Chain A
Amino acid sequence: DTGVSQNPRHKITKRGQNVTFRCDPISEHNRLYWYRQTLGQGPEFLTYFQNEAQLEKSRLLSDRFSAERPKGSFSTLEIQRTEQGDSAMYLCASSYLGLAGYEQYFGPGTRLTVT
């Protein structure tokens, strides 16, 4: 399977704890995106990387959130001091800059529940 993978698939944590999610993109893709999806809404952009450079961060991404993509391969998204409002599906997507289209390929997501 050469698709986008995300781990873990589910995470339950207590308020105030830190959590970290991992995304492994399609190997030849140089762009990696993080989105957040809540019930009844479409995915909302959080941040994206081109290779290892983080090029844009949404205003949704408070300073409790940090993302990295060392060596331009996998990426991690860390949430510090989690709050109940952080409960959501966190989606990762990848694409290849240079194609005529803008298609992004999504992983299965990590569902976070903060109790």
Chain B
Amino acid sequence: DQQVKQNSPSLSVQEGRISILNCDYTNSMFDYFLWYKKYPAEGPTFLISISSIKDKNEDGRFTVFLNKSAKHLSLHIVPSQPGDSAVYFCAASLAGGTSYGKLTFGQGTILTVHP
């Protein structure tokens, strides 16, 4: 049961353009969402997050949008840079109970930014 899904295995973008990575989830109890970036031979690095009480969070070139009714979130990178080339994972967490803080990850999207 894949509760967090990233349906695009890969995305290719030209430098300077916008990159849009998408993520869907099925568990309506998730209330906190995160994006991680992963380079080869390294662990995932936290990028940006959003609480379910918000619909947008921005940090520099990175913006995450949350559409709760559609159970969909997206990560926008503007402008894209070659150094952004990596695997991007979205993750979701529950608010409370024993699973509080435990992350459920999507399968990842490989982003390639061409110079």
- Give A contacts to B, CB under 8 Å: 4, 31, 33, 35, 40-45, 48, 55-56, 91, 93, 95, 97, 101-109
Contact = CB atoms under 8 A, between A and B. Distances in A.
Given A42-B89, A43-B44, A56-B98, A104 B103 contact: yes
Interface of B: 4, 6, 9, 32, 34, 36, 41-46, 49, 89, 91, 93, 98-99, 101-108
Contacts of B36: 106
B101 A106 contact: no
A41 B62 CA distance: 23
Given A48-B101, A55-B98, A91-B43, A101 B89 contact: no
22 contacts: A31-B101, A33-B102, A33-B103, A40-B108, A41-B108, A42-B91, A42-B105, A42-B106, A42-B108, A43-B103, A45-B102, A48-B101, A55-B98, A91-B43, A91-B44, A102-B34, A102-B49, A102-B101, A103-B49, A104-B103, A108-B41, A109-B42
Nearest to A109: B43
A104 B44 CA distance: 9
Contacts of A44: 105
A41 B45 CA distance: 16
A43 B104 CA distance: 8
A4 B98 CA distance: 23
Contacts, number: 63
A88 to B, nearest CB: 14
Name the residue among A31, A43, A48 with the largest chain B CB count within 10 angstroms.
Answer: A43
Nearest to B97: A56
A101 B99 CA distance: 15
A108 B101 contact: no
A34 to B, nearest CB: 11
Nearest to B6: A42
A45 B4 CA distance: 13
